[in-house]
Amino acid sequence: EVQLVESGGGLVQPGGSLRLSCAASGITFDDFAVTWFRQVPGKEREGVSCISTGSGSTLYADSVKGRFLISSDSAKNTVYLQMNSLKPDDTAVYYCTARVEVLNYYCEGNQVLRWSHMDYWGNGTLVTVSS
């Protein structure tokens, strides 16, 4: 059984940092596109960042560029999302998802990150940015 388990969410003040982790079991993140989405109730789900573990290529939403950093650790079979300079608008449930790479690396160019493109989904972790 494949499981993606997110951790690291919580309450942080504006300007602070958090690091989210996505640990996989049942698969190895050797050749996957691992993508973080976030969602606020009543709003559209947003693709935040993506890493193609086979190539190391990454993508970021404009709203988080320069503040968030995605990385992977193959030894731990874990992908991280380092979130810095957090804003109240970053408050959301963050979901880790994964897509099997087929033909081309997903996290490149002008790829639009879509929930429906993913093959596996975690249950989410809540991030609250508030003073």
Chain Cα centroid distance, residue 32: 13
Strands 78-83 and 18-25: antiparallel
Q: Is residue 109 within 8 Å of 4, Cβ to Cβ? A: no
Q: Which residue shows structure tokens 């049942």?
A: 26
Chain Cα centroid distance, residue 26: 19
Where does the pLDDT of residue 104 fall: very low under 50, low under 70, confident under 90, or very high at 90 and above?
Answer: confident
Mean pLDDT score of the chain = 96
What torsion, rounded to 10 degrees, do the Cα atoms 119, 92, 5, 123 define? Answer: -60
Residue 22 above 90 pLDDT? yes
Cα 3 to Cα 58: distance, rounded to the nearest angstrom: 22
Q: What is the pLDDT of residue 14?
A: 98
- Hey, is 50 helix, strand or coil? strand
Q: What percent of the chain clears pLDDT 70, i.e. is strictly above it?
A: 100
Which whole number is the average pLDDT over 72-98?
97
Residue 78 above 90 pLDDT? yes
Q: What is the pLDDT of residue 13?
A: 98
Q: What is the pLDDT of residue 103?
A: 83
Where does the pLDDT of residue 108 fall: very low under 50, low under 70, confident under 90, or very high at 90 and above?
Answer: very high
What torsion, rounded to 10 degrees, do the Cα atoms 48, 20, 12, 49 define? Answer: -10
Q: Is residue 99 within 8 Å of 35, Cβ to Cβ? A: yes
